[in-house]
A and B are shown apart, each in its own frame.
Chain A
Amino acid sequence: MGFVVALLAALGFVIGAAVIGGTSGGIGLLGVFGIVAIAWSILGYYSGDKMVLAVSGAHQVTHADEPQLFNVVEEMTIAAGLPSVPAVYVIEEAAPNAFATGRDPQHSSIAVTRGLMQRLDREELQGVVAHEMSHIRNYDIRFATLVGILVGMIALVADFFLRFSFFGGFGRRRGGGSNDQAGAILMVIAIVLAILAPLAAYSVQFAISRRREYLADASGVELTRNPLGLARALNDIADDPRPLRAANRATAHLFIVNPLKNKKTKEVSGVFDTHPPIQKRIAILLQMAHVGPEALVPGYRAAALAAGDGTAGLPGAAGAPHRATSPRPHDPPPPPAVPPAPPA
Protein backbone atom coordinates (compact mmCIF):
# COMPACT_ATOMS: atom_id res chain seq x y z
CA MET A 1 0.00 0.00 0.00
CA GLY A 2 2.78 2.41 0.97
CA PHE A 3 4.65 1.58 -2.18
CA VAL A 4 1.62 2.25 -4.33
CA VAL A 5 1.05 5.60 -2.65
CA ALA A 6 4.75 6.52 -3.04
CA LEU A 7 4.59 5.58 -6.69
CA LEU A 8 1.57 7.81 -7.19
CA ALA A 9 3.39 10.65 -5.41
CA ALA A 10 6.54 10.26 -7.52
CA LEU A 11 4.51 10.19 -10.69
CA GLY A 12 2.67 13.34 -9.68
CA PHE A 13 5.88 15.17 -8.80
CA VAL A 14 7.77 14.35 -11.98
CA ILE A 15 4.89 15.01 -14.33
CA GLY A 16 4.19 18.25 -12.51
CA ALA A 17 7.82 19.33 -12.74
CA ALA A 18 8.00 18.44 -16.42
CA VAL A 19 4.75 20.01 -17.53
CA ILE A 20 4.33 23.03 -15.31
CA GLY A 21 8.01 23.53 -14.74
CA GLY A 22 10.33 23.51 -11.74
CA THR A 23 10.01 22.10 -8.25
CA SER A 24 7.02 24.27 -7.41
CA GLY A 25 5.11 22.79 -10.30
CA GLY A 26 6.02 19.30 -9.10
CA ILE A 27 4.85 19.94 -5.58
CA GLY A 28 1.74 21.65 -6.86
CA LEU A 29 0.65 18.72 -8.97
CA LEU A 30 1.69 16.32 -6.22
CA GLY A 31 -0.75 18.14 -3.94
CA VAL A 32 -3.53 17.92 -6.51
CA PHE A 33 -2.86 14.21 -6.95
CA GLY A 34 -2.86 13.72 -3.21
CA ILE A 35 -6.25 15.37 -2.79
CA VAL A 36 -7.74 13.48 -5.71
CA ALA A 37 -6.30 10.18 -4.42
CA ILE A 38 -7.75 10.74 -0.95
CA ALA A 39 -11.15 11.70 -2.34
CA TRP A 40 -11.05 8.71 -4.66
CA SER A 41 -10.15 6.36 -1.80
CA ILE A 42 -12.95 7.65 0.40
CA LEU A 43 -15.42 7.18 -2.43
CA GLY A 44 -14.08 3.68 -2.99
CA TYR A 45 -14.18 2.89 0.72
CA TYR A 46 -17.88 3.65 0.98
CA SER A 47 -19.23 2.59 -2.38
CA GLY A 48 -16.53 0.49 -4.03
CA ASP A 49 -18.46 -2.69 -3.26
CA LYS A 50 -21.61 -1.39 -4.93
CA MET A 51 -19.61 -0.35 -8.00
CA VAL A 52 -17.97 -3.76 -8.26
CA LEU A 53 -21.30 -5.56 -7.87
CA ALA A 54 -22.96 -3.31 -10.44
CA VAL A 55 -20.13 -3.73 -12.94
CA SER A 56 -20.38 -7.50 -12.53
CA GLY A 57 -24.12 -7.49 -13.13
CA ALA A 58 -24.84 -9.17 -9.79
CA HIS A 59 -28.32 -9.10 -8.27
CA GLN A 60 -29.14 -9.70 -4.63
CA VAL A 61 -31.00 -12.85 -3.61
CA THR A 62 -32.87 -13.85 -0.46
CA HIS A 63 -33.36 -17.12 1.34
CA ALA A 64 -36.60 -17.66 -0.58
CA ASP A 65 -34.81 -17.35 -3.96
CA GLU A 66 -31.77 -19.52 -3.30
CA PRO A 67 -32.21 -21.47 -0.06
CA GLN A 68 -29.11 -23.62 -0.37
CA LEU A 69 -26.69 -20.82 -1.28
CA PHE A 70 -28.11 -18.62 1.43
CA ASN A 71 -27.91 -21.42 4.02
CA VAL A 72 -24.29 -22.17 3.13
CA VAL A 73 -23.37 -18.50 3.54
CA GLU A 74 -25.08 -18.49 6.95
CA GLU A 75 -23.22 -21.65 7.97
CA MET A 76 -19.86 -20.10 7.12
CA THR A 77 -20.76 -16.88 8.93
CA ILE A 78 -21.35 -18.93 12.06
CA ALA A 79 -18.13 -20.90 11.59
CA ALA A 80 -16.17 -17.66 11.23
CA GLY A 81 -17.95 -16.12 14.23
CA LEU A 82 -18.78 -12.99 12.25
CA PRO A 83 -21.43 -10.65 13.65
CA SER A 84 -23.66 -10.41 10.57
CA VAL A 85 -24.42 -12.40 7.44
CA PRO A 86 -23.00 -10.86 4.24
CA ALA A 87 -25.41 -9.89 1.47
CA VAL A 88 -25.70 -12.68 -1.10
CA TYR A 89 -25.57 -11.92 -4.83
CA VAL A 90 -25.90 -14.04 -7.95
CA ILE A 91 -24.36 -13.30 -11.36
CA GLU A 92 -26.44 -14.88 -14.13
CA GLU A 93 -23.63 -16.42 -16.10
CA ALA A 94 -22.59 -19.98 -16.85
CA ALA A 95 -18.85 -19.70 -16.10
CA PRO A 96 -18.33 -20.82 -12.48
CA ASN A 97 -16.68 -18.22 -10.23
CA ALA A 98 -17.22 -16.21 -7.05
CA PHE A 99 -15.95 -13.12 -5.25
CA ALA A 100 -16.41 -11.14 -2.06
CA THR A 101 -16.38 -7.38 -1.62
CA GLY A 102 -17.15 -4.70 0.96
CA ARG A 103 -15.27 -2.67 3.55
CA ASP A 104 -15.65 -4.74 6.74
CA PRO A 105 -17.58 -7.81 7.95
CA GLN A 106 -20.65 -5.67 8.72
CA HIS A 107 -20.69 -4.26 5.19
CA SER A 108 -19.77 -7.16 2.98
CA SER A 109 -21.20 -9.10 0.07
CA ILE A 110 -20.56 -12.47 -1.52
CA ALA A 111 -21.38 -13.00 -5.17
CA VAL A 112 -21.41 -16.31 -7.04
CA THR A 113 -22.27 -17.10 -10.64
CA ARG A 114 -25.24 -19.23 -11.65
CA GLY A 115 -22.79 -21.67 -13.24
CA LEU A 116 -21.02 -22.16 -9.92
CA MET A 117 -24.25 -23.12 -8.18
CA GLN A 118 -25.21 -25.51 -10.92
CA ARG A 119 -21.85 -27.14 -11.19
CA LEU A 120 -20.82 -27.61 -7.57
CA ASP A 121 -22.40 -29.82 -4.95
CA ARG A 122 -23.14 -28.59 -1.44
CA GLU A 123 -19.77 -29.57 -0.02
CA GLU A 124 -17.85 -27.82 -2.81
CA LEU A 125 -20.04 -24.74 -2.58
CA GLN A 126 -19.27 -24.65 1.13
CA GLY A 127 -15.54 -24.65 0.34
CA VAL A 128 -15.88 -21.72 -2.05
CA VAL A 129 -18.05 -19.71 0.33
CA ALA A 130 -15.59 -20.43 3.17
CA HIS A 131 -12.78 -19.05 0.99
CA GLU A 132 -14.75 -15.86 0.37
CA MET A 133 -15.71 -15.64 4.05
CA SER A 134 -12.00 -15.71 4.90
CA HIS A 135 -11.39 -12.77 2.59
CA ILE A 136 -14.08 -10.94 4.54
CA ARG A 137 -12.75 -11.97 7.95
CA ASN A 138 -9.16 -11.03 7.02
CA TYR A 139 -10.26 -7.61 5.65
CA ASP A 140 -8.83 -8.59 2.27
CA ILE A 141 -11.97 -7.15 0.71
CA ARG A 142 -11.20 -3.64 1.93
CA PHE A 143 -7.55 -3.91 0.99
CA ALA A 144 -8.24 -5.28 -2.46
CA THR A 145 -10.78 -2.56 -3.15
CA LEU A 146 -8.49 0.29 -2.03
CA VAL A 147 -5.38 -1.01 -3.77
CA GLY A 148 -7.42 -1.58 -6.89
CA ILE A 149 -8.66 1.99 -6.80
CA LEU A 150 -5.19 3.53 -6.30
CA VAL A 151 -3.60 1.34 -8.93
CA GLY A 152 -6.38 2.30 -11.28
CA MET A 153 -5.62 5.95 -10.63
CA ILE A 154 -1.91 5.51 -11.40
CA ALA A 155 -2.77 3.80 -14.66
CA LEU A 156 -5.23 6.55 -15.54
CA VAL A 157 -2.79 9.40 -14.77
CA ALA A 158 0.08 7.77 -16.64
CA ASP A 159 -2.12 7.06 -19.61
CA PHE A 160 -3.46 10.59 -19.65
CA PHE A 161 0.02 12.08 -19.52
CA LEU A 162 1.40 9.85 -22.24
CA ARG A 163 -1.42 10.63 -24.63
CA PHE A 164 -1.06 14.34 -24.06
CA SER A 165 2.69 14.41 -24.58
CA PHE A 166 2.44 12.36 -27.74
CA PHE A 167 -0.04 14.75 -29.24
CA GLY A 168 2.15 17.67 -28.27
CA GLY A 169 -0.41 18.99 -25.82
CA PHE A 170 2.30 20.52 -23.65
CA GLY A 171 3.94 23.17 -25.81
CA ARG A 172 7.20 24.70 -24.63
CA ARG A 173 5.97 28.02 -23.42
CA ARG A 174 9.07 28.92 -21.47
CA GLY A 175 12.15 30.38 -23.11
CA GLY A 176 15.72 30.15 -21.86
CA GLY A 177 18.46 27.74 -22.94
CA SER A 178 19.53 25.82 -19.83
CA ASN A 179 15.97 25.72 -18.51
CA ASP A 180 14.86 24.13 -21.74
CA GLN A 181 17.46 21.40 -21.46
CA ALA A 182 16.48 20.61 -17.89
CA GLY A 183 12.87 20.58 -19.01
CA ALA A 184 13.65 18.09 -21.75
CA ILE A 185 15.40 15.77 -19.30
CA LEU A 186 12.51 16.03 -16.89
CA MET A 187 10.14 15.25 -19.75
CA VAL A 188 12.06 12.08 -20.57
CA ILE A 189 12.03 11.00 -16.92
CA ALA A 190 8.30 11.70 -16.75
CA ILE A 191 7.62 9.63 -19.84
CA VAL A 192 9.72 6.71 -18.59
CA LEU A 193 8.04 6.85 -15.20
CA ALA A 194 4.60 7.09 -16.79
CA ILE A 195 5.35 3.91 -18.70
CA LEU A 196 6.90 2.02 -15.79
CA ALA A 197 4.69 3.17 -12.89
CA PRO A 198 1.52 1.33 -13.94
CA LEU A 199 3.50 -1.86 -14.53
CA ALA A 200 5.14 -1.62 -11.10
CA ALA A 201 1.80 -0.81 -9.48
CA TYR A 202 0.09 -3.76 -11.17
CA SER A 203 2.88 -6.13 -10.18
CA VAL A 204 2.55 -5.05 -6.53
CA GLN A 205 -1.21 -5.42 -6.63
CA PHE A 206 -0.98 -8.88 -8.16
CA ALA A 207 1.72 -10.06 -5.77
CA ILE A 208 -0.51 -9.08 -2.84
CA SER A 209 -3.51 -10.71 -4.48
CA ARG A 210 -1.65 -14.01 -5.01
CA ARG A 211 -0.53 -14.21 -1.40
CA ARG A 212 -4.01 -13.48 -0.11
CA GLU A 213 -5.47 -16.27 -2.24
CA TYR A 214 -3.26 -18.86 -0.56
CA LEU A 215 -4.16 -17.45 2.83
CA ALA A 216 -7.89 -17.49 2.08
CA ASP A 217 -7.65 -21.11 0.89
CA ALA A 218 -6.01 -22.11 4.16
CA SER A 219 -8.29 -20.16 6.45
CA GLY A 220 -11.31 -21.31 4.48
CA VAL A 221 -10.32 -24.86 5.34
CA GLU A 222 -10.00 -23.80 8.96
CA LEU A 223 -13.71 -22.96 8.79
CA THR A 224 -15.00 -26.06 7.02
CA ARG A 225 -12.31 -28.48 8.27
CA ASN A 226 -12.70 -30.05 4.86
CA PRO A 227 -9.88 -29.34 2.39
CA LEU A 228 -11.25 -31.77 -0.18
CA GLY A 229 -14.42 -29.75 -0.77
CA LEU A 230 -12.49 -26.66 -1.84
CA ALA A 231 -9.94 -28.72 -3.78
CA ARG A 232 -12.69 -30.35 -5.83
CA ALA A 233 -14.42 -27.01 -6.32
CA LEU A 234 -11.21 -25.42 -7.65
CA ASN A 235 -10.69 -28.40 -9.91
CA ASP A 236 -14.24 -28.09 -11.25
CA ILE A 237 -13.83 -24.36 -11.84
CA ALA A 238 -10.49 -24.87 -13.56
CA ASP A 239 -12.05 -27.49 -15.83
CA ASP A 240 -14.45 -24.92 -17.21
CA PRO A 241 -12.77 -23.18 -20.15
CA ARG A 242 -15.27 -20.32 -20.51
CA PRO A 243 -14.07 -16.86 -19.50
CA LEU A 244 -16.38 -14.84 -17.28
CA ARG A 245 -17.82 -11.95 -19.30
CA ALA A 246 -18.88 -10.11 -16.15
CA ALA A 247 -15.24 -9.67 -15.10
CA ASN A 248 -12.71 -7.17 -16.38
CA ARG A 249 -9.08 -6.33 -15.63
CA ALA A 250 -10.03 -4.11 -12.70
CA THR A 251 -12.13 -6.74 -10.94
CA ALA A 252 -10.27 -9.91 -11.97
CA HIS A 253 -8.19 -10.09 -8.80
CA LEU A 254 -11.31 -10.25 -6.62
CA PHE A 255 -12.49 -13.61 -7.96
CA ILE A 256 -11.62 -16.98 -6.42
CA VAL A 257 -10.12 -18.14 -9.73
CA ASN A 258 -8.82 -15.82 -12.45
CA PRO A 259 -11.96 -15.23 -14.53
CA LEU A 260 -10.19 -13.95 -17.63
CA LYS A 261 -8.19 -16.99 -18.63
CA ASN A 262 -8.04 -20.40 -17.11
CA LYS A 263 -4.45 -21.50 -17.44
CA LYS A 264 -4.64 -24.89 -15.92
CA THR A 265 -1.21 -26.25 -16.73
CA LYS A 266 1.05 -23.47 -15.51
CA GLU A 267 3.31 -24.40 -12.62
CA VAL A 268 4.77 -21.05 -11.56
CA SER A 269 3.12 -17.67 -11.37
CA GLY A 270 4.37 -14.72 -13.37
CA VAL A 271 4.67 -11.14 -12.16
CA PHE A 272 1.41 -10.19 -13.85
CA ASP A 273 -0.76 -13.05 -12.65
CA THR A 274 -3.55 -12.08 -10.30
CA HIS A 275 -3.85 -15.60 -8.94
CA PRO A 276 -1.42 -18.36 -8.00
CA PRO A 277 -1.37 -21.38 -10.32
CA ILE A 278 -4.57 -23.27 -9.61
CA GLN A 279 -2.85 -26.65 -9.78
CA LYS A 280 -0.56 -25.58 -6.97
CA ARG A 281 -3.51 -24.47 -4.84
CA ILE A 282 -5.26 -27.79 -5.44
CA ALA A 283 -2.06 -29.70 -4.60
CA ILE A 284 -1.72 -27.86 -1.28
CA LEU A 285 -5.35 -28.60 -0.39
CA LEU A 286 -4.98 -32.28 -1.28
CA GLN A 287 -1.95 -32.43 0.96
CA MET A 288 -4.04 -31.03 3.81
CA ALA A 289 -6.67 -33.72 3.18
CA HIS A 290 -4.02 -36.48 3.05
CA VAL A 291 -5.38 -37.83 -0.22
CA GLY A 292 -4.01 -38.12 -3.71
CA PRO A 293 -5.32 -36.55 -6.93
CA GLU A 294 -7.70 -39.52 -7.38
CA ALA A 295 -10.03 -37.80 -4.94
CA LEU A 296 -10.64 -35.12 -7.59
CA VAL A 297 -11.86 -37.51 -10.27
CA PRO A 298 -15.58 -36.91 -10.87
CA GLY A 299 -16.17 -40.65 -10.59
CA TYR A 300 -14.93 -40.56 -7.03
CA ARG A 301 -17.87 -38.46 -5.96
CA ALA A 302 -20.41 -40.03 -8.31
CA ALA A 303 -19.43 -43.49 -7.12
CA ALA A 304 -19.63 -42.38 -3.51
CA LEU A 305 -23.08 -40.92 -4.13
CA ALA A 306 -24.24 -44.12 -5.78
CA ALA A 307 -22.84 -46.00 -2.82
CA GLY A 308 -25.70 -44.83 -0.63
CA ASP A 309 -26.92 -48.45 -0.58
CA GLY A 310 -23.52 -50.09 -0.26
CA THR A 311 -19.89 -49.41 -0.86
CA ALA A 312 -19.15 -49.52 -4.54
CA GLY A 313 -15.49 -50.25 -5.11
CA LEU A 314 -13.87 -46.86 -5.19
CA PRO A 315 -10.32 -46.55 -6.41
CA GLY A 316 -8.34 -45.35 -3.47
CA ALA A 317 -11.35 -45.30 -1.18
CA ALA A 318 -9.73 -47.74 1.18
CA GLY A 319 -7.17 -45.10 2.09
CA ALA A 320 -9.81 -42.42 2.51
CA PRO A 321 -11.44 -42.74 5.91
CA HIS A 322 -14.72 -41.16 4.90
CA ARG A 323 -17.47 -41.03 2.34
CA ALA A 324 -17.34 -38.05 0.09
CA THR A 325 -21.07 -37.46 0.34
CA SER A 326 -21.51 -36.03 3.79
CA PRO A 327 -21.03 -32.28 3.98
CA ARG A 328 -18.47 -32.53 6.77
CA PRO A 329 -16.95 -35.95 6.55
CA HIS A 330 -14.06 -35.73 8.95
CA ASP A 331 -11.57 -33.63 10.77
CA PRO A 332 -8.25 -33.42 9.03
CA PRO A 333 -5.62 -35.00 11.24
CA PRO A 334 -4.44 -32.51 13.76
CA PRO A 335 -4.12 -29.01 12.34
CA PRO A 336 -3.27 -26.74 15.26
CA ALA A 337 -6.59 -24.89 15.11
CA VAL A 338 -8.71 -27.97 15.95
CA PRO A 339 -9.58 -27.96 19.62
CA PRO A 340 -8.26 -31.11 21.20
CA ALA A 341 -10.70 -33.35 23.02
CA PRO A 342 -10.60 -32.00 26.53
CA PRO A 343 -10.01 -34.11 29.56
CA ALA A 344 -13.38 -34.63 31.18
Chain B
Amino acid sequence: MIAVIIIIVILVVLGIIFAGVYNSLVGRRNQVDNAWSQIDVQLKRRHDLIPNLVEAVKDYMSYEQETLTKVTAARAAAINAGSQGPQAQAQAENMLTESLKSLFAVVENYPDLKANQNVLSLQEELTTTENKISFARQFYNDSVLTYNNKTQMFPSNIIAGMFNFTTRQFFEAPEGDREVPKVDLR
Protein backbone atom coordinates (compact mmCIF):
# COMPACT_ATOMS: atom_id res chain seq x y z
CA MET B 1 0.00 0.00 0.00
CA ILE B 2 2.72 2.42 1.05
CA ALA B 3 4.75 1.52 -2.02
CA VAL B 4 1.77 2.32 -4.24
CA ILE B 5 1.33 5.71 -2.59
CA ILE B 6 5.02 6.50 -3.01
CA ILE B 7 4.88 5.59 -6.68
CA ILE B 8 1.79 7.72 -7.20
CA VAL B 9 3.43 10.68 -5.44
CA ILE B 10 6.56 10.32 -7.60
CA LEU B 11 4.44 10.16 -10.75
CA VAL B 12 2.47 13.25 -9.76
CA VAL B 13 5.67 15.19 -8.98
CA LEU B 14 7.19 14.11 -12.30
CA GLY B 15 4.00 15.18 -14.08
CA ILE B 16 4.13 18.62 -12.49
CA ILE B 17 7.78 19.06 -13.44
CA PHE B 18 7.01 17.88 -16.96
CA ALA B 19 4.16 20.36 -17.33
CA GLY B 20 6.30 23.18 -15.98
CA VAL B 21 9.15 22.54 -18.39
CA TYR B 22 6.79 22.09 -21.32
CA ASN B 23 4.96 25.32 -20.55
CA SER B 24 8.13 27.32 -20.20
CA LEU B 25 9.35 25.97 -23.55
CA VAL B 26 6.11 27.07 -25.18
CA GLY B 27 6.36 30.46 -23.50
CA ARG B 28 9.91 30.97 -24.73
CA ARG B 29 9.03 29.91 -28.25
CA ASN B 30 6.12 32.34 -28.32
CA GLN B 31 8.40 35.09 -27.11
CA VAL B 32 10.77 34.36 -30.00
CA ASP B 33 7.91 34.50 -32.49
CA ASN B 34 6.64 37.71 -30.99
CA ALA B 35 10.11 39.28 -31.10
CA TRP B 36 10.41 38.25 -34.74
CA SER B 37 7.12 39.93 -35.60
CA GLN B 38 8.43 43.08 -33.92
CA ILE B 39 11.41 43.13 -36.27
CA ASP B 40 9.04 42.55 -39.16
CA VAL B 41 6.88 45.51 -38.20
CA GLN B 42 9.88 47.82 -38.11
CA LEU B 43 11.32 46.52 -41.39
CA LYS B 44 7.99 47.14 -43.10
CA ARG B 45 7.90 50.62 -41.64
CA ARG B 46 11.30 51.32 -43.08
CA HIS B 47 10.20 50.04 -46.48
CA ASP B 48 7.23 52.43 -46.29
CA LEU B 49 9.32 55.44 -45.30
CA ILE B 50 11.91 55.14 -48.05
CA PRO B 51 9.71 56.21 -51.00
CA ASN B 52 8.80 59.38 -49.08
CA LEU B 53 12.43 60.15 -48.48
CA VAL B 54 13.39 59.53 -52.08
CA GLU B 55 10.51 61.76 -53.17
CA ALA B 56 11.59 64.53 -50.82
CA VAL B 57 15.22 64.62 -51.88
CA LYS B 58 15.13 63.77 -55.57
CA ASP B 59 14.46 67.30 -56.82
CA TYR B 60 17.51 68.60 -54.99
CA MET B 61 19.71 65.72 -56.05
CA SER B 62 19.68 65.81 -59.81
CA TYR B 63 23.32 64.73 -59.92
CA GLU B 64 22.94 61.85 -57.49
CA GLN B 65 20.47 59.68 -59.35
CA GLU B 66 22.71 56.66 -58.90
CA THR B 67 22.53 56.81 -55.12
CA LEU B 68 18.77 57.09 -55.23
CA THR B 69 18.46 54.19 -57.65
CA LYS B 70 20.57 52.06 -55.36
CA VAL B 71 18.30 52.80 -52.40
CA THR B 72 15.18 52.01 -54.39
CA ALA B 73 16.68 48.77 -55.72
CA ALA B 74 17.86 47.71 -52.26
CA ARG B 75 14.39 48.38 -50.92
CA ALA B 76 12.80 46.20 -53.58
CA ALA B 77 15.31 43.42 -52.91
CA ALA B 78 14.63 43.60 -49.17
CA ILE B 79 10.89 43.34 -49.70
CA ASN B 80 11.40 40.28 -51.93
CA ALA B 81 13.70 38.63 -49.41
CA GLY B 82 10.96 38.87 -46.77
CA SER B 83 9.71 35.37 -47.51
CA GLN B 84 13.09 33.66 -47.65
CA GLY B 85 13.85 33.16 -43.97
CA PRO B 86 15.81 35.18 -41.41
CA GLN B 87 19.25 34.70 -42.98
CA ALA B 88 18.38 35.92 -46.47
CA GLN B 89 16.25 38.70 -45.10
CA ALA B 90 18.98 39.89 -42.77
CA GLN B 91 21.37 40.07 -45.72
CA ALA B 92 18.99 42.08 -47.89
CA GLU B 93 18.12 44.43 -45.04
CA ASN B 94 21.79 45.02 -44.38
CA MET B 95 22.26 46.01 -48.02
CA LEU B 96 19.41 48.47 -47.63
CA THR B 97 21.02 49.92 -44.49
CA GLU B 98 24.26 50.41 -46.41
CA SER B 99 22.54 52.20 -49.27
CA LEU B 100 20.70 54.48 -46.86
CA LYS B 101 23.97 55.30 -45.19
CA SER B 102 25.45 56.49 -48.45
CA LEU B 103 22.29 58.47 -49.20
CA PHE B 104 22.54 60.33 -45.90
CA ALA B 105 26.22 60.95 -46.54
CA VAL B 106 25.24 62.62 -49.81
CA VAL B 107 22.53 64.66 -48.09
CA GLU B 108 25.27 66.14 -45.92
CA ASN B 109 26.65 67.87 -49.02
CA TYR B 110 23.45 69.76 -49.77
CA PRO B 111 22.87 72.61 -47.28
CA ASP B 112 19.38 73.28 -48.68
CA LEU B 113 18.44 69.68 -48.09
CA LYS B 114 19.85 69.57 -44.59
CA ALA B 115 17.72 72.55 -43.64
CA ASN B 116 14.55 71.19 -45.23
CA GLN B 117 11.98 70.54 -42.50
CA ASN B 118 10.43 67.65 -44.36
CA VAL B 119 13.78 65.95 -44.87
CA LEU B 120 14.70 66.58 -41.25
CA SER B 121 11.63 64.86 -39.91
CA LEU B 122 12.05 61.99 -42.39
CA GLN B 123 15.62 61.63 -41.16
CA GLU B 124 14.45 61.46 -37.56
CA GLU B 125 11.87 58.82 -38.51
CA LEU B 126 14.43 56.76 -40.39
CA THR B 127 16.93 57.08 -37.56
CA THR B 128 14.41 55.83 -35.06
CA THR B 129 13.34 53.03 -37.39
CA GLU B 130 16.96 51.94 -37.75
CA ASN B 131 17.28 52.02 -33.97
CA LYS B 132 14.05 50.12 -33.50
CA ILE B 133 15.20 47.48 -35.97
CA SER B 134 18.43 46.97 -34.11
CA PHE B 135 16.74 46.97 -30.70
CA ALA B 136 14.12 44.55 -31.94
CA ARG B 137 16.92 42.40 -33.32
CA GLN B 138 18.73 42.61 -29.99
CA PHE B 139 15.60 41.49 -28.16
CA TYR B 140 14.95 38.76 -30.73
CA ASN B 141 18.49 37.42 -30.39
CA ASP B 142 18.28 37.48 -26.60
CA SER B 143 15.01 35.57 -26.80
CA VAL B 144 16.48 33.05 -29.24
CA LEU B 145 19.47 32.55 -26.97
CA THR B 146 17.29 31.78 -23.96
CA TYR B 147 15.01 29.52 -26.00
CA ASN B 148 17.86 27.63 -27.69
CA ASN B 149 19.56 27.12 -24.33
CA LYS B 150 16.35 25.60 -23.02
CA THR B 151 16.00 23.24 -25.98
CA GLN B 152 19.59 22.06 -25.69
CA MET B 153 20.21 21.90 -21.95
CA PHE B 154 19.44 18.92 -19.76
CA PRO B 155 16.76 18.06 -18.71
CA SER B 156 14.50 20.32 -20.78
CA ASN B 157 16.14 19.04 -23.97
CA ILE B 158 14.40 15.67 -23.43
CA ILE B 159 10.96 17.27 -23.52
CA ALA B 160 12.03 19.61 -26.33
CA GLY B 161 13.04 16.55 -28.36
CA MET B 162 9.77 14.73 -27.67
CA PHE B 163 7.63 17.63 -28.85
CA ASN B 164 9.80 18.86 -31.67
CA PHE B 165 10.96 22.17 -30.23
CA THR B 166 13.65 22.98 -32.78
CA THR B 167 16.34 25.60 -32.26
CA ARG B 168 15.89 28.98 -33.94
CA GLN B 169 18.25 31.07 -36.02
CA PHE B 170 19.80 34.31 -34.81
CA PHE B 171 19.26 37.48 -36.81
CA GLU B 172 22.84 38.25 -37.62
CA ALA B 173 24.30 41.65 -38.28
CA PRO B 174 27.67 42.04 -39.98
CA GLU B 175 30.39 44.08 -38.30
CA GLY B 176 29.90 47.79 -38.84
CA ASP B 177 26.16 47.48 -39.26
CA ARG B 178 25.80 48.58 -35.66
CA GLU B 179 26.35 52.13 -36.88
CA VAL B 180 23.13 53.63 -38.14
CA PRO B 181 23.20 56.21 -40.89
CA LYS B 182 24.91 59.22 -39.43
CA VAL B 183 22.36 61.88 -38.59
CA ASP B 184 23.45 64.58 -36.22
CA LEU B 185 20.21 66.35 -35.47
CA ARG B 186 19.09 67.66 -32.18
Contacts and interface: CB of A to CB of B under 8 A. Distances in A.
Contacts of A2: none
A78 B124 contact: no
A326 to B, nearest CB: 5
A327 interface: yes
Contacts of B121: 67
Given A71-B124, A78-B135, A331 B178 contact: yes
A232 to B, nearest CB: 14
B139 A81 contact: yes
B125 A339 contact: no
B150 to A, nearest CB: 14
B148 to A, nearest CB: 8
The B interface is mostly helix, strand or loop, or mixed, namely helix
A67 B138 contact: no
A72 B185 CA distance: 14
B132 A327 contact: no
A225 B138 CA distance: 10
A326 B131 contact: no
A75 interface: yes
A78 B128 CA distance: 11
Contact of B131 (A75, A121, A308, A339): A75
B134 interface: yes
Contacts of A305: 184
Contacts of B124: 67-68, 71
A75 B184 contact: no
Interface in B28-55: 31, 35, 38, 42
Most-contacted residue by chain B among A81, A122, A326, A328 (CB, 10 A): A81
Chain B: number of interface residues, binned into ranges: 20 to 34
Chain A: number of interface residues, binned into ranges: 20 to 34
A337 B139 CA distance: 11
B178 A328 contact: yes
Contact of B141 (A68, A308, A329, A339): A339
A330 interface: yes
Interface of A: 67-68, 71-72, 74-76, 78-81, 121-122, 126, 223, 225, 305, 308, 325-331, 337, 339-342
28 contacts: A67-B124, A72-B128, A74-B128, A74-B132, A75-B128, A75-B131, A78-B38, A78-B132, A79-B138, A81-B31, A81-B139, A121-B186, A126-B131, A223-B135, A225-B138, A308-B108, A325-B184, A326-B180, A327-B127, A328-B131, A329-B178, A329-B179, A330-B178, A331-B178, A339-B144, A339-B145, A340-B145, A342-B172
Of all A-B residue pairs in the complex, the 10 with the closest CB atoms, nearest first, are: A71-B128, A79-B135, A339-B141, A339-B145, A342-B170, A78-B135, A75-B131, A326-B179, A81-B139, A78-B136
